[in-house]
Amino acid sequence: MNRLLAAVLIAAPLSLVSTGAHAQYTGPGATSAVTTVAEARDQRDDQPVVLQGTLIAKIGHERYRFKDATGEIDVEIDDKDLPDRQPVSATTVVELQGEVDTHRFKPTDIDVEHVRIIGTR
Can you give the C-alpha Rg of the chain in angstroms? 18
Return the CATH superfamily for domain 37-120. Answer: Bacterial OB-fold (2.40.50.200)
Pairing between strand 109-120 and 92-101?
A: antiparallel
The arithmetic mean of pLDDT across residues 6-10, rounded, is: 49
Res 105: pLDDT: 83
Tens of pLDDT along 57-88?
A: 999 999 999 999 999 999 999 999 998 888 89
Tens of pLDDT along 9-35?
A: 455 454 444 444 455 566 666 666 779
Average pLDDT over the chain reads 83
Please give the residue that has the higher pLDDT: either 4 or 64. 64
Q: What share of the chain in percent tops pLDDT 70?
A: 74
DSSP state string for the chain: -HHHHHHHHHHHHHHHHHHSPPP---STTPPPPB-SHHHHHTSPTT-EEEEEEEEEEEEETTEEEEEETTEEEEEEE-GGGS-SSS---TTEEEEEEEEEE--SSS--EEEEEEEEEEEE-
pLDDT of residue 100 exceeding 70:
yes
